[in-house]
Amino acid sequence: MAEKVLMKGNEAIAEAAIKAGCRHYFGYPITPQTEIAAYMAKRMPKIGGTFLQAESEVAAINMVYGVAGAGFRVMTSSSSPGVSLKQEGISYIAGADLPALIVNVQRGGPGLGGIQPSQSDYFQATKGGGHGDYHLIVLAPASVQEMADLTGKAFDLADKYRCPTMLLADGTLGQMMEPVEIPDVEVTPVEKPWAVNGTKGKRAHNIVNSLYLKPDQLEKTNFERFEKYKQIEENEVMYESFMMEDAEYCVVAFGIAARISKNAVVAARKNGIKVGLIRPITLWPFPTEVIAKAAEQVKGFVSVELSMGQMIEDVRLASGCKKPVLLCNRAGGMIMSPEEVLAKIDELAAL
C-alpha cells in the first residue's frame, strides 16, 4: 500500500504518470496546470527520464509524437488555449494510431479567456478537436484521487487501443489539495512491433505516418479506426451512479460540477425530491446507454456544466429527447453553488 499524502491535483497527475512508467514529458508553461511541468522538471532528471520545456505547445505535442512513435509512454499537459495549439499534433497522433496522454486542466475561454476553472473544452475534447475523423478517449476526474487513478488508466487505454487519451480536468481539480494515495502499479510492458526504434537489420522498416494519398486507402484506415472506436464504446464506458435506484429526476454532471451537484442531490432528497446523479467518467465514450436507460425511469434531466451547455447535447441525444433536459451552468471561470443546482432541480420537479 502506498501512503496517503496531501497533494495538488496537478502534482497527483505527475506522480501517477511516473508510477505508470511515463519517463518522457514535454510541456510549455500555462496556468492553471504549470505544477505538472514543475513536478516533472524536479523528478524526471532523478529517475533517468526526460523533462523538456518546449519552445511552444506545437513543438511539445510533436515531441510527444516522436516518443510515442518510438514506443515509449509519453505525455504532455496544458490548459485550454495551449490545448488548442496542440490540436494539429493530436490529429497526427490519432492518424498514426499512436498511444499518448494529453492532459487539459481547463480554464475559461474563448480566446485567452481567464485562468479560472471551466469545462468549456468539452466539445473540443469529445468531438475530435483537430481536423479529420477521430476520437480521443476522454477521462474526467472529479477528485485529486481520481486525477491519479485515471492517469494510470489513461496510459493503459492508450496502449491497449493505440490511440491518444485525454485527461480532461479543470483549474479547481488541478489546484486543490486533497489526501491522495498514488497507487503502486505493476506496469506490464506492451509489445509495440510497429515502433520506430531502428530495424537492427532484422526487419523491414517501420513507418509512423498518417499520409495516404490514395483515397481508397485513406478511407480504409478511417473505417478500421472506427471499428476500434466501436470496441472502445462497447468495453470502456465508465460512470458513477449516485442515488439513482428510485430516482424520478436525474442530474448529469462530470468533474468538479459533479461534486457540487452531489451536495444538491443530497439536499433535494432532504426536501423530498427523488433525484439522483449520473457522473460520466469517460466523456468519450459517453455513457449513452446509461442515460438512455435513465430516460425510461426519470421525468427529466438537469445537465450541470461549467460552460454555456456542451455536454447537454449528448444528454439530449442519449435520452432521445424523450424527457426535458434543463441546463444549470456558469461560465468564464465562475462556479455554481449547490443552491443554484438545487434551484434547477426544483424547477425541473415543478414542470
Partner 1 sequence: MIVFEKPKALTDAPLHYCPGCTHGIIHRLVAEAIDELGIEGITVGVAPVGCSVMAYDYFACDMVEAAHGRAPAVATGLKRCMPENIIFTYQGDGDLASIGMAETVHAATRNENITIIFVNNAIYGMTGGQMAPTSLPGQVTQTSPYGRDVTVAGYPIRVSEMLSTLEGPEYIERVAVNNVKNVRNAKKAILKAFKNQVEGKGFSLIEVVSTCPTNWGMTPSQALEWVDTNMIPYYPLGVYKDKTAAAAEAAKEE
Contact residues toward partner 1 (CB under 8 A) are: 23-24, 26, 50, 52, 54-56, 58-60, 62-70, 72, 74, 88-89, 92, 96, 196-202, 205-211
* Nearest CB to partner 1, comparing residues 73 and 330: 73
∠ CA 75-79-85, nearest 5°, is 80
Cβ pair 152, 183 in contact under 8 A: yes
Cβ pair 142, 168 in contact under 8 A: no
Pairing of strands 74-78, 100-106: parallel
All residues at 6 or more sequence positions from 331 whose CB lies less than 8 Å from its CB, including other chains: 108, 118, 120, 306, 307, 308
∠ CA 43-121-318, nearest 5°, is 120
d(CA 189, CA 346): 51
How many other CB atoms sit within 10 Å of the CB of residue 64? 27
d(CA 12, CA 337): 26
d(CA 124, CA 58): 17
Least Å from the CB of residue 203 to partner 1: 9
Q: Which three cell numbers stand for residue 230?
A: 466501436
* Nearest CB to partner 1, comparing residues 131 and 322: 131
Least Å from the CB of residue 150 to partner 1: 24
* Nearest CB to partner 1, comparing residues 54 and 266: 54
Least Å from the CB of residue 127 to partner 1: 21
Which CA distances in Å does 285 have to 105, 288, 314?
19, 8, 11
Least Å from the CB of residue 22 to partner 1: 11
Cβ pair 38, 32 in contact under 8 A: no
Least Å from the CB of residue 134 to partner 1: 15
Least Å from the CB of residue 87 to partner 1: 11
DSSP structural state of residue 46? G
* Nearest CB to partner 1, comparing residues 213 and 350: 213
| Residue 75, CA atoms < 13 Å, CB-side half-sphere | 31
SS3 117: strand
Least Å from the CB of residue 52 to partner 1: 7
All residues at 6 or more sequence positions from 189 whose CB lies less than 8 Å from its CB, including other chains: none
Phi and psi for 188 in degrees, rounded to 5?
A: -85, 120
Cβ pair 103, 94 in contact under 8 A: no
* Nearest CB to partner 1, comparing residues 189 and 201: 201
* Nearest CB to partner 1, comparing residues 87 and 172: 87
* Nearest CB to partner 1, comparing residues 40 and 96: 96
* Nearest CB to partner 1, comparing residues 46 and 200: 200
Least Å from the CB of residue 97 to partner 1: 13
Least Å from the CB of residue 132 to partner 1: 12
* Nearest CB to partner 1, comparing residues 111 and 201: 201
